[in-house]
Amino acid sequence: MTTRTTDTGEAGRAPWPLARVLRDRNAGLYLAGVVVSGFGSSALGLAAGVWVKDLTGSDGLAALCLLALWAPTLAGPALGTVADRVRRKPLLIAANLLPAGLVLTLFAVDSRGALWLLFAVLFLYGVAGVVQDAAESALVAAAVDPGLLGDFNGLRMTANEGMKLVAPLAGAGLYAAYGGPSVAALDAATFVLATGVYAALRVREAPPERPAVNWRRQTAEGARCLWGHPGLRPLVLAGGVTMLCAGVGGATLYAVVDNLGRSPAYAGVLYAVQGAGSVTVGILSGPALRRLGPRRFGAAGIALFAVAVAVRAVPSDAVVWASSVAVGLGLPTVLIAASTAVQRETPGPLLGRVSATASSLVFAPNVLGLAAGAALVETVRLWLLLPALGTVLLATAAALAPARRPTDRRTPSPA
């Protein structure tokens, strides 16, 4: 059992979401850890692909870097079980120290023949990330005031998206000046700093009870809890469908740019505009969640995302810019709603498994969507494909937003 320790009894009365979170000591420390480690991870994520491209000249091998990082998500339910078998704070610290040591081995990658080491490190990096996310989600639910969870998850999204705006550029510049090992060293340093931040968290954890069932059955308990929960299941399924469509839509980005008569580099501008929208919705998500409840908040965002995707087929810079902002605003909402609902509604001993299972169900379809989109964009015209995606998303939004229920706005009291 983890006991929540907060330093302010009035965190919920601060007027602005950022103030509400930063006035809670644990929430502020978590956010700082996300910013620090997210900067290093985003920088390495881009640099790894460039590194492989430089050594091999192959776009396919460069793309495998993303696959290596994402593949462990498929084993999320089993990896998340780790967070329910040990104390979460030490696990979170270990999950940051392990990548810090791993990435330093990349100093040995100096030729095509050493690329196996890069891919192995990226895969293990992804494994540590899945475990870290499960431990963090479970510990956040216990260490942060329940009234701040929506604000925290929104600002966590803001921090992640903000790092994606600046860290890849910093990583690319560092790589160009000093090579791949310099980016690995930067990433290692950010993990060490994040470890120090997480070590400063004030939580009291009793040793977890010894499980009475084996690993497989314990993992299955998390999946059953998620699937049997009438509030969580629709959110997670809607998130999975949304990310599947996001993957298909993402694969059309360069076709959209070409439809505008722009060079491929213009895609970077659209990414930045979308990121600005995601930063904004992260700041606004806490109040919106309290007003609408998780399902309506998620449904509203999916509907906005649907319209944004559909109109991207219009060959107009102004329309596509507006669409990119709307994608940034709409896409994260169901992700924030689902993660907040999982933290609020899942019993503490199951939270690691349920959180990791939910993440797998939400994010794994994105990989499938990217693959499907790569095939569809070659065979289906944008004016057919993008409105069709918008229709699927609108149907998903409608299914997620039933008549109001009394539980929609429920906020649990601190344990």
Whether the per-residue pLDDT at 391 is higher than 60: the answer is yes
pLDDT in tens, 189-208: 999 999 999 898 887 776 66
Residue 272 Cα distances to 66, 68, 76, 156, 279, angstroms:
20, 25, 29, 18, 11
- State yes or no: pLDDT of 415 exceeds 50: no
Report the distance separating Cα 170 and Cα 187, nearest Å.
Answer: 12
Tell me the residue type at 357: T
Given this structure, which CATH class describes domain 215-401?
mainly alpha
Backbone angles phi, psi at 3, to 5 degrees: -105, 130
Q: What is the pLDDT of residue 13?
A: 45
- CA distance linking residue 361 with residue 114, whole number of Å: 33
- Label residue 409 by pLDDT band (50, 70, 90): very low
Torsional sign, CA 294, 165, 91, 31: negative
Kindly state the helix (H) or strand (E) to which residue 204 belongs, with its residue range. strand 204-205
pLDDT of residue 132 exceeding 50, the answer is: yes
pLDDT digits (tens, 9 = 90+) for 16-58: 656 777 788 888 888 888 888 888 888 887 788 888 878 888 7
Helices and strands in the chain: count of H runs, count of E runs: 17, 2
pLDDT tens-digit map of 295-333? 999 999 999 999 999 999 999 999 999 999 999 999 999
Reported pTM: 0.74
Fold match between 2-205 and 215-401? yes
Higher pLDDT, 414 or 49: 49
Contact 232, 346 (CB under 8 A): yes
CB-based burial label for 144 (10 Å; 0-12, 13-18, 19+): buried
The predicted structure's pLDDT at residue 66: 73
Instruction: Sketch the domain layout of the chain as residue ranges.
Output: 2-205, 215-401
Q: Are the C-beta atoms of 366 and 245 separated by less than 8 Å? A: no
Which residue, 209, 208, 207, 205, is CA-closest to 3? 205
Domain at 2-205, CATH from 3.30.420.10, 3.30.300.30, 1.20.1250.20, 3.40.50.20 = 1.20.1250.20
